[in-house]
């Protein structure tokens, strides 16, 4: 018998992609993602800087002093108007107040503005009173009543607001502003007395005016 010739099989090698190529692709994808995040953070920072730079150019206030507020054009000051219960007055008192206000408006020519704002209720005096009572009380029923009162005071400060009225006076110089304040205070002494405000209260008024969606 002749020798059987074995057929030689041609084996083609299996080619697998190199693992470092996948790693390169992953690294490139991560680099792109990091680059995009950096671009977003840079854009946010630039936007914030623009807002901060525009704020001083929009607001007219420069400095706050004890007796006046320095503006870009002139000076101003804020006084608080003491309100009264008009519904409890008789017709004679109402007519007197109306005539007094009309006389003031006819005699006063410089610029001014009356502003009404909502401020959180201030119950510090009431809370101080009940805290003093709490220190001197031993009766558990009385203590329970005092705790209830303190809870009500905290609730009023958080949830309720008071309507307060302010008078804005404007002038070219601090001396003119001082004279106008004296005239206004003297003219409104018998109708709606004016009170001078500390610096912190003036800052709160300006903050509420320019940030009406925020709370103090």
Distance, in Å, from the CA atom of 120 to the CA atom of 161, rounded to the nearest integer, reads 4
Integer-rounded Cα radius of gyration of the chain = 37
Distance CA 158, CA 152 (A): 10
Structure tokens at 41: 């953070």
Q: What angle do CA 33, 36, 41 make, to 5 degrees?
A: 125
How far is residue 29's CA from residue 121's CA, in Å, rounded to a whole number? 56
pLDDT tens over the chain, length 216 residues = 444 444 455 555 555 555 544 455 555 656 665 655 565 555 555 555 554 566 667 777 788 888 888 888 889 999 999 888 888 888 888 888 888 888 888 888 888 889 988 888 888 888 999 999 888 888 888 999 999 999 998 888 888 888 889 999 999 999 999 988 888 888 888 888 899 888 888 988 888 888 776 666
pLDDT for 55: 67
Output the pLDDT for position 33.
59
pLDDT at res. 139: 87
Note the Cα 145 to chain centre separation in Å. 35
Whole-number Å distance between alpha carbons of 183 and 197: 17
What the block records as the tokens of 191 is 């109708």
pLDDT in the model for residue 12: 54
pLDDT at 111: 85
H/E stretch holding 170 reads: strand 161-171
Q: Are strands 112-120 and 75-81 parallel, antiparallel or unpaired?
A: unpaired
């Amino acid at each position: 018998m002749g020798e059987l010739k074995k057929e030689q099989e041609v084996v083609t090698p299996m080619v697998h992609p190199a693992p470092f190529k996948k790693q390169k692709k992953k690294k490139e994808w991560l680099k792109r993602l990091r680059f995009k995040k950096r671009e977003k953070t840079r854009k946010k920072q630039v936007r914030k800087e623009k807002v901060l730079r525009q704020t001083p150019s929009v607001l007219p206030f420069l400095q706050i002093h004890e007796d006046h507020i320095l503006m870009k054009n002139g000076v101003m000051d804020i006084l608080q108007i003491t309100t009264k219960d008009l519904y409890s007055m008789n017709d004679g008192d109402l007519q007197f107040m109306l005539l007094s206000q009309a006389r003031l408006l006819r005699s006063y020519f410089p610029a001014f503005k009356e502003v009404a704002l909502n401020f959180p209720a201030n119950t510090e005096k009431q809370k101080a009173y009940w805290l003093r009572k709490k220190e001197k009380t031993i009766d558990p029923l009385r203590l329970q009543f005092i705790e209830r009162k303190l809870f009500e005071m905290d609730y009023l400060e958080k949830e309720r607001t008071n309507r307060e009225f302010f008078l804005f006076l404007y002038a070219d110089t601090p001396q003119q502003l001082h004279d106008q304040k004296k005239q206004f205070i003297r003219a409104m002494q018998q109708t709606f007395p004016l009170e001078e405000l500390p610096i912190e209260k003036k800052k709160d008024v300006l903050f509420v005016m320019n940030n009406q969606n925020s709370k103090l």
